[in-house]
Amino acid sequence: MAQARTPASCAAREALGLGVNWVFAPVADLDLEPRNPIIQTRSFGADPEAVSRQVATWVRAAQEAGVLACAKHYPGHGRAAQDSHDVVPSVASDLAELSGSDPRPFMRAIEAGVASIMTAHVSFPRWDASAAPATRSAVILDHLRSALGFDGLVVTDALMMEGARAGLPADEAVTAPLRAGCDLLLYPPDVEEAVSALDRAAGKDARIAGRVEASLAKYQRALDRAGQADQVYTADPVSEAESRDVARRLLASGLHRGTIPDLRGGIDLLIVDDDQDAEHRPGPNDLVRRDLARARAPDGYGGRRVILAFTEPRMSKGRVGFGAASRAVLSDAAPGASLVVLFGHPRLMQEIPGSAPVLLAWHRQPLMQHAVAEWLLERMR
Given the residues 157, 183, 273, 274, the one annotated as active site: 157
A 10 A CB-CB count for 318 gives: 14
CA dihedral sign, ordered 345, 346, 351, 355: positive
Residue 31 in contact with residue 260, Cβ under 8 Å? Answer: no
Strand order in the sheet with 70-74: 70-74, 116-119, 153-155
The number of beta carbons lying within 10 Å of the beta carbon of residue 118 is 25
Quote the CA–CA distance of 348 and 343 in Å, as a whole number: 10
Neighbours of 246 (CB within 10 A): 16
**Cα dihedral 35, 39, 45, 48 sign:** negative
Catalytic residue among 85, 121, 345, 370: 85
Whether 73 is catalytic is no
Phi, psi of 367, deg, nearest 5: -55, -45
> Any idea what DSSP says for residue 42?
G
Check if 157 is active-site. Answer: yes
Active-site residues, by number, are 85, 157
